[in-house]
Amino acid sequence: MNETTHRVELDHRLTLLECLRENLALTRSNHGCDDGRCGSCTVLLDGRRVSSCLLLAVAQEGREITTIEGLAVAPGAEEVHHPLRRPSLEREAVRCGYCAPGQSSAAAGTPADTAAGQAAVVSELDLPADPARLTAVEIMEQLSGNLCRCGAYPGAAEVLEDTVPQEVTR
């Protein structure tokens, strides 16, 4: 997890989110709806976004899990943020901050999800013929599973547009 192997004894009923927060002290992924609808608990599992409140922790043994904490690289004493986390303030993509960890994790997983043919389930939007190339509308669609209570959703989509390499957007 976050490029570190963790070995923990778990109750077999514990969700991945509970394990992250309670057993590993990775508390930036938030409890929201507890039924996978809000996206505040989004993490990357083998590079693809998932709602950690819906997965049993014991079933994730051997999988690569990246939390919002893992989207930061800490060389030396000063933390350097992943590109998806840096421009958030410029784009006003973070207001209250509750959805920010899930939004950033979802954005980081969007290119892999799109390439795998996994679109958001909110509308009937077809994926592009070249799934590595996303338009602004397709980016908004991919982030639509992450609810923002204070209205920073458009800014979060702009952050993804800004940070995805130019050859990936069209």
Q: What is the pLDDT of residue 15?
A: 96
Q: What is the pLDDT of residue 14?
A: 96
- Paired residues of 43 in beta bridges: 50
Q: What is the pLDDT of residue 150?
A: 73
As a whole number of angstroms, the distance between CA 78 and CA 44 comes to 24
Q: What is the pLDDT of residue 81?
A: 57
Q: What is the pLDDT of residue 26?
A: 93
In contact, 149 and 99? CB cutoff 8 Å:
yes
Q: What is the pLDDT of residue 112?
A: 74
Q: What is the pLDDT of residue 58?
A: 95
Q: What is the pLDDT of residue 121?
A: 52
In this structure, which amino acid lies at residue 55?
A: L
* Of residues 75, 68, 82, the one with CA closest to residue 27: 68
Which segments of the chain have a pLDDT < 50? 75-77, 131, 165-170
Q: What is the pLDDT of residue 77?
A: 39
